[in-house]
Chain A
Amino acid sequence: MNIIKRIFSFGRSYDEFELLETEGGQPGFFGSTGRAHKDAAGAIENANDTINCDVSANEERLKTEMHAEINPDMVMRRFLLCGQIEALAVFINGMSDQSLVSDFILRQGIPERELPNDAPLVEYVANNVFAMAEVKQETSWNTIKTAIMDGCTAVFIQGKTTALTMDTRSYEHRSIQEPSNEKVVKGSQEGFVENLRTNITLIRRRVRTDDLVVELRTYGKEGSSRAAIMYREGIANESLVNEIKRRLANVNAMYVFNAGTLEQLTERNTYSVFPQLLATERPDRTAAMLMEGHVAVIVEGSPTANVMPATLFTLMATGEDSTMRVVQGSVIRMVRYIGAAISILLPGYFLALALHHQSLLSSEVLTTVVASRKMVFAPIGMEMLFLLLVFQLVREAGMRVPGSIGQAIGIIGGLILGQAAVTANLASSVMLIIVALTGLGNFCIPDYSTQLSASVLRVILVIASWLAGLMGLFCGAFVIVAWMASLKSFGVPFLAPHSPKANSKRPMILRGPIDNMSRHKDILNTEEDGR
């Protein structure tokens, strides 16, 4: 229904964000969508957002709101602060380190000591009693609740409407490992993990500039999801950063636990086959792109960073490209592009030639094709689609099962199943070679999402070629390139810097010398370019 509305909503203002051409000022942080609703909701929330000065009332409220009686891991510890004042420490067992709470909060807070009469009590306690590195004074009830759920410990003090939150987070998480989907021979072997703090640290270790900014944001309907927006202040385009914040603020999903979901919620062209941002597991790649002026969004609980904007050439590059010598890098990149072209075009092209344009094939090739298909009963188009489906089945099965079994499935699928299909006259050997080449070409595409895009495009072109031969293939390719030419990733044309041309000296298919990396990419319209 929405698609029909979009098609027929003539005269509707065009709200595409244009980074390069028509920046229409800075969008508000919360954007315009749903602002009235949010304002109204905010007014109600504000009334309940204060802390009661009575510790017992706060305890009761927490018990009710966080279902402490049912939740066994919710710990509420009453104690006498400095042996004089009633206080309540609240934390979640498992999310917080109990020894930290015992040693540096309770053991420090319980012993009797003199309290000053003139100095503010909360500030004195924060500075002199608890032996924690980070002690925050909070007055917002919701912020304190979020902090507790995040693994912090909150301490409420009798007679005070300000509580203290301390970072006692210590939960089990996966250690830093090699990225599973972006392996490299040369270069760093570190990959992102599910822990947001670790991921931020991995980037900070590489980008040691004072202008690197990490903004932590909660988003989503329940506000339970957290993400870090990372960019270089004064380098990354301000409009781009604001646009990303605006889109993040407009996310209204109930929950968003991974970067892939957030990607879909923040991109413009929902039905686009191509990804509009780069999802990478590699901190070194993210750091390099941040240095160039990109913006990265890392979601809590997701081992990938969303880097934006992304163009076709970004998606076709790998983290290893810059570690290779110029000639080697250029040759490998060219092979990658040829692989991608084979992956998308070869099945459709072969089908068009074999079915509609036999005159374009030499008699030797034609004889081979005809001989191999002699006993195959399915129409050639059906056979091609069947084999492509089998290829996807093998691939999908190989990915979903544990490592060693996955490899076995690949071998069984590739060798035994293929051989069996030819013997059973379900498929011809020539067609099998075409599909195998297509599969190899597909694996040359470095980005997983782009690999899937290529798979979809391949099927579209196969059907078009089946229906109309080379005319179908060319018309299909024309429409696909037209789509790519009109696509934009956060305001940057998808085919930049080729079309439109940018001033960047950096070649995109061939790799240039490292000297060419001395300037930021001008397609990003960085603040430095404007100066």
Chain B
Amino acid sequence: MRLNEGKIGLQESASIAAVAITACSVFLLDSEKAYSRGDATFISLPVSIAVSLAMFMLMWCAMRRTGARNLIELFDMCVGKAIGTVLSIVAALIFILYAYRLMARFCILIHGRVFAAAEYESVALWIAVPVAYAAIKGLECLSRLAKIFGVLIGALVLISLIIMISAYDVSRLAPFPGDLGKLGMDTISRSADSVAAFLGLICVAGALQGGRNVKKSALIGSGVAIAFVFMIQFALGATFTYTDLSQMAMPIYLMKMVVMRESYLFRLDQMNLFFYMIAALITAAFYVYCAALIITRRTFGQDIRPAVVGVSAFILAALRVNHRFEAGIIQQSIDFLYDYAFVAGVPFILAAIAGLIRFGRKGRAYEADK
């Protein structure tokens, strides 16, 4: 078997969870929709992470009851192999969708703001190749990358937020909380952003050395992510009005450039952008790896590499197609899928409940915990 899972420790697994959740929550936010009627993202995004954590806990309980070692086994044991296969395909699609969204976001940003004269495809290639490489190297490599770069990027974000402190004005948060109905809807819909990271943890649970570590990783990772997402979104809300924010593609990137335009010493927004890109690369590689792992396990493959190459090539093709037919039917379809990705969480919850009912209270304990 060459699935390149290996064994990872708590720090590594928590790091990859934190990086993935934060990256998806902050970088994938659609400013136009999120800030259309006020800025309460510093509430809705952390709460949405907590909502998906609750879903994860449900699935984790089902894992303990059923004794499943990973996502595929969990689905199979909860709802049978036929429906389990369908659910694992849905999970793989979610991974691919989020990997694609992250890569597309940075391709567009880098192409638009840094290398406007370059070909979009070459920018996409520069991003896709490291993602595929890291995914091929496997989970151990990805989790270590998350730990090494996670600390670095976290420190960078904190320093950036501290540097901007003079520009914060809480009155810009008005009208807080804005439209409550929209706030609730945002909370639910954006919970899908962190669902992929939690599904990823369950997908590679076998490598996390025990069920308790899976839970701890999720709790620590989501805790760190909630703290960072709150700080970033609050700082953004205190720096810009919601009308300004709704026109910014990725406000965290623009924040430093707009606020400290005159100080050349801090004209490092592009540096920050590439550090954020690293976080996106790690997250995208993790999702590509998880999708490939599901495909390999479902097809009884022995080697992760063909699936990783296939998934990466598919995403690269999608990036190219998306660019060629911007605002066309493909783009609209992807946007539609992304907006309603949270609906995919419903069958997972139902499957977990089915597993809990089926195996009752005397279910098998998680094998590694015995």
Q: Which residues of chain A have a CB within 8 Å of any CB of chain B?
A: 7, 10-14, 18, 20-22, 356-357, 359-360, 362-363, 468-475, 478-479, 481-483, 485-486, 493, 495, 498-501
Out of B9, B11, B110, B148, which one reaches A471, CB within 8 Å? B110
B141 pairs with A482, CB closer than 8 A? yes
Complex contact B271–A485 (CB within 8 A): no
Give the residue of A362, A481, A485 whose beta carbon is less than 8 angstroms from that of B264: A362
Chain A residues with CB below 8 A from B127, complex form: 475
Taking a contact as CB atoms under 8 Å apart, the answer to whether B141 and A475 are in contact is no
CA distance in complex: A415, B347 (Å): 72
With an 8 A cutoff between CB atoms, is B267 at the interface?
yes
CA distance A359 to B2 in the complex (A): 46
A–B complex contacts, Cβ < 8 Å, 16 sampled: A7-B305, A10-B302, A12-B2, A13-B2, A14-B1, A356-B114, A471-B114, A471-B274, A471-B277, A475-B127, A481-B145, A482-B141, A485-B144, A493-B144, A499-B144, A500-B8
Chain B, range 108-146, C-beta contacts under 8 Å to A: 110, 114-115, 122-123, 126-127, 129-130, 133-134, 137-138, 140-141, 143-145
Which A residues touch B274, using CB under 8 A? 470-471, 473-474
- Could you tell me the distance between the alpha carbons of A246 and B268 in the complex, rounded to whole angstroms? 52
Residues of B that sit less than 8 Å from A by CB: 1-2, 6-9, 11-12, 110, 114-115, 122-123, 126-127, 129-130, 133-134, 137-138, 140-141, 143-145, 147-149, 264-265, 267-268, 270-271, 274-275, 277-278, 281, 301-303, 305-306
Among A7, A10, A11, A486, which residue has the most Cβ atoms of chain B within 10 A? A486
Once the chains are docked, how many angstroms separate the CA of A21 from the CA of B5? 11
Residues of A within 8 A of B133 (CB): 479, 482
Q: A12-B2, A479-B130, A479-B133 are in contact. Are A499 and B148 (CB under 8 A)?
A: yes
Tell me whether A11 and B271 are in contact (CB under 8 A). no
* Contact between chains at A21 and B148 (CB < 8 Å): no
Q: How far is the CA of A495 from the CA of B137 in the complex (A)?
A: 15
Most buried by A among B8, B264, B271, B274: B274
A481-B130 contact, Cβ under 8 Å, with A11-B2, A362-B264, A486-B138: no
> In whole angstroms, how far apart are the Cα atoms of A21 and B148 in the complex?
21
State in angstroms the CA–CA spacing of A499 and B302 once bound together: 27
Contact (Cβ within 8 A) B1 A470: no
The B interface, classified by DSSP as helix, strand, loop or mixed, is helix
Residues of B within 8 A of A475 (CB): 126-127, 129-130, 281
Contact of B303 among A10, A363, A470 (CB under 8 A): A10
- Which residues of A lie under 8 Å from residue B277 when comparing CB positions? 471, 474
Q: B140 touching A485 by the CB < 8 A rule?
A: yes
B140 touches A11 (CB 8 A): no
Known: A470-B274, A471-B114. A10 touches B306 (CB 8 A): yes
Most buried by B among A18, A469, A473, A478: A478
Whole-angstrom distance from the CB of B209 to the nearest CB of chain A?
9
Checking A10, A356, A482, A495 against B130 with a beta-carbon cut-off of 8 angstroms, the contacting residue is A482
The smallest beta-carbon distance between A30 and chain B, in angstroms, is 26
Q: Within 8 Å CB of A473, what residues of B?
A: 274
Task: Say whether B301 contacts A360, CB under 8 Å.
Answer: no
Q: Is the CB of A471 within 8 A of B281?
A: no
Identify the closest chain A residue to B148 (Cβ): A499
How far apart sit A325 and B196, CA to CA, in the bound complex (Å)? 49
For the complex of A and B, 5 pairs with smallest distance between CB atoms: A485-B144, A499-B144, A11-B302, A486-B141, A10-B303
CA distance A13 to B1 in the complex (A): 6
In the bound complex, do residue B145 and residue A501 qualify as a contact, i.e. CB atoms below 8 Å apart? no
B134 partner, pick from A12, A362, A478, A499, beta carbons under 8 A: A478
- Rounded to whole angstroms, the CA-CA distance of A362 and B123 in the bound complex is 26
Contacts of A13 in B (CB 8 A): 1-2
A20, A485, A495, A498, most chain B CB atoms within 10 A: A485
Tell whether, in the assembled complex, residue B7 and residue A21 are in contact, meaning their CB atoms are under 8 Å apart: yes
- Beyond A11-B2, A471-B126, A501-B12, 6 additional pairs, beta carbon < 8 A: A360-B270, A470-B274, A471-B110, A471-B115, A482-B141, A500-B8
Contact A486 B140 (CB under 8 A): yes
| B144 CB contact (under 8 Å) in A20, A362, A474, A495 | A495
Do B114 and A469 have beta carbons less than 8 Å apart? Answer: yes
User: Given the complex, which residues of A lie within 8 Å of B268, measured CB to CB?
Assistant: 360
Determine how close the nearest CB of chain A comes to the CB of B367; give it in whole angstroms: 16
Using Cβ atoms and an 8 Å threshold, which residues of chain A touch B264? Answer: 362-363
Closest chain A residue to B207 by CB distance?
A21
Contacts of A493 in B (CB 8 A): 140, 144
| In the bound complex, CA of A195 to CA of B264 (Å) | 60
Question: Smallest CB–CB gap between A5 and chain B, Å?
Answer: 13
Contact A499 B123 (CB under 8 A): no
CB pair B302–A469 under 8 Å, yes or no, is no
Query: B205 to chain A: closest CB distance in Å?
Result: 16
Q: Is the CB of B271 within 8 A of A478?
A: no
A360 cross-chain contacts in B, Cβ below 8 A? 267-268, 270-271
- The answer to whether B123 and A471 have CB atoms under 8 Å apart is yes
With CB as the reference atom, state the residue of chain B lying closest to A496: B144
In the complex, what residues of B have CB within 8 A of residue A483's CB?
Answer: 137
Contacts of B301 in A (CB 8 A): 10-11
Complex-state Cα separation, A479 to B149, whole angstroms:
12
Q: Which residue of B lies closest to A21 (CB)?
A: B7
Please give, as numbers and ranges, the residues of chain A lying within 8 Å of B302 by CB-CB distance.
10-11
Query: Which chain A residue lies CB-closest to B265?
Result: A362
CA distance A10 to B271 in the complex (A): 39
Considering only CB atoms, which chain B residue lies closest to A7 in the complex? B305
| Residues B134 and A359 in contact, CB atoms below 8 Å apart | no
A314 to B148, CA, bound (A): 18
Would B8 and A11 count as touching, CB distance under 8 A? no
Distance in Å: Cβ of A95 to nearest Cβ of chain B: 50
Who on chain B is nearest to A494 by CB? B144
**Alpha-carbon distance between A320 and B122 when the two chains are bound, in angstroms:** 48
B130 with A470: CB separation less than 8 A = no
Contacts of A22 in B (CB 8 A): 7
Distance to closest chain A CB from B121 (angstroms): 13
User: Given the interface contacts A13-B1, A472-B126, A474-B277, does A482 sit within 8 Å of B270 by beta carbon?
Assistant: no
Looking at the assembled complex, report how far the CB atom of B20 sits from the nearest CB atom of chain A, in whole angstroms: 16
Given contacts A11-B2, A499-B144, contact A481 B149 (CB under 8 A): yes
A12 CA / B304 CA spacing, docked (Å): 11
Q: With A and B bound together, what is the CA distance between A21 and B2 in angstroms?
A: 15
> When the two chains form their complex, are residues A485 and B148 in contact, meaning their CB atoms are under 8 A apart?
yes
In the complex with contacts A471-B114, A485-B141, A500-B9 CB distance below 8 A: yes
CB-defined contacts of B137 to chain A, threshold 8 Å: 482-483, 485-486
Which residues of B are found within 8 Å of A359, using beta-carbon distances? 267, 270
Within the complex, the shortest CB–CB distance from B224 to chain A, in Å, comes to 16
A498 vs B141: C-alpha distance when bound (angstroms): 13
Query: Which partner residue on chain A sits nearest B141 by CB separation?
Result: A486
Given contacts A478-B130, A482-B137, A486-B138, contact A499 B147 (CB under 8 A): yes
Interface residue from A10, A469, A470, A500 paired with B305 (Cβ < 8 Å) = A10
Instruction: For B123, give the chain A residue with the smallest CB separation.
Output: A471
Most B CB atoms within 10 A — which of A18, A471, A483? A471
Distance to closest chain A CB from B343 (angstroms): 34
Q: Please, which residues of chain A bring their CB within 8 A of the CB of B140?
A: 485-486, 493, 500
- Give the most central of A14, A20, A469, A475: most B CB within 10 Å: A475
Q: How far is the CB of B47 from chain A (nearest CB, A)?
A: 31
Q: Name A499's contact: one of B7, B12, B126 (CB within 8 Å).
A: B12
CB neighbours of B149 from chain A (8 A): 478, 481
Q: What chain B residues lie within 8 Å of A499 (beta carbons)? A: 12, 143-144, 147-148
Kindly provide the distance from the CB of B104 to the nearest chain A CB, expressed in whole angstroms: 15
Complex: A472 Cα to B126 Cα, angstroms? 7
Least Cβ–Cβ distance between B17 and chain A, in angstroms: 15
